[in-house]
Chain A
């Protein structure tokens, strides 16, 4: 069974630029999550999708972050414009349904200079 795929693995941008991350969840997983992990901290949930609908985006900085999950499968997370404090690893995860344990991708490490 293929795991959660994420790309790119690494990205370096300058502040005020925009960036996008892509995630392909495990086949059949209805729930998809985007987490932000800042160095030395645990993953923080940014947004949770159930199929192609948003069920929780309470911690998403909506003035600069956006995410979509078209057709209930792949998802993209965008940051525009990026700030220095956005430097982090962005983890995508998926689960069969809410409350079931998520499977994580390898993440995208973002450095904002």
Chain B
């Protein structure tokens, strides 16, 4: 049962353009969403988060949008830079019980010069 889904395994974007990574979830009990970035041979590093009481959060070039009715969130990177090439994971925090994070499968973003 995949509660958090990233349906695009890969995405290729021209440097300077906008990158949009998408994530869908099924469980309405998720109350906090995070994006992590992962380079090869490194652990995931936190990028940006959003609480379920908001619909947008911005941090520099990174903006996360949350559409609760559609159970969808997206990460926008503007402008995209070569250093943004990495695997991006969407994660959702389950309000009940142990409050654990559930991760999506990841999207590999490649920024072309």
Q: In the bound complex, how far is the Cα of B89 from the Cα of A105, in angstroms?
A: 16
Interface string of B86-101 (1 = CB under 8 A from A): 0001010100011111
- Cβ distance A97 to chain B, nearest Cβ, rounded Å: 9
- Cβ distance B72 to chain A, nearest Cβ, rounded Å: 17
Among A13-21, A39-47, A64-72, A77-85, the stretch that binds chain B is A39-47
Of the residues A55, A103, A107, contact of B46 by C-beta under 8 Å = A103
Of the residues B49, B100, B104, contact of A42 by C-beta under 8 Å = B104
Interface size class, chain B: 20 to 34
Q: In the bound complex, how far is the Cα of B89 from the Cα of A91, in angstroms?
A: 14
Residues in chain B near residue A99, CB distance under 8 A: 32, 93, 99
Q: In the bound complex, how far is the Cα of B49 from the Cα of A102, in angstroms?
A: 12
Q: In the bound complex, how far is the Cα of B110 from the Cα of A107, in angstroms?
A: 23
Q: In the bound complex, how far is the Cα of B94 from the Cα of A55, in angstroms?
A: 14
Determine whether B52 belongs to the interface, using a CB cutoff of 8 Å to chain A.
no
Residues in chain A near residue B53, CB distance under 8 A: none
Q: Name which of A55, A99, A106 has the most chain B CB atoms within 10 A of its CB.
A: A99
Determine whether A4 belongs to the interface, using a CB cutoff of 8 Å to chain B.
yes
- Check B105 against A42 for contact (C-beta < 8 Å): yes
Determine whether B103 belongs to the interface, using a CB cutoff of 8 Å to chain A.
yes
- Cβ distance A55 to chain B, nearest Cβ, rounded Å: 4
Q: 25 A-B Cβ contacts within 8 A?
A: A4-B43, A35-B103, A40-B9, A40-B105, A40-B106, A41-B105, A41-B106, A42-B6, A42-B104, A43-B89, A43-B103, A45-B101, A45-B102, A50-B98, A55-B98, A91-B43, A98-B99, A98-B100, A99-B93, A99-B99, A101-B34, A101-B46, A102-B101, A104-B36, A107-B42
User: Nearest 8 A-B pairs (CB), nearest first?
Assistant: A42-B103, A104-B43, A56-B98, A98-B99, A99-B99, A55-B98, A106-B43, A43-B103
Binding site for B on A (CB under 8 A): 4, 33, 35, 40-45, 48, 50, 55-56, 91, 93, 98-99, 101-107
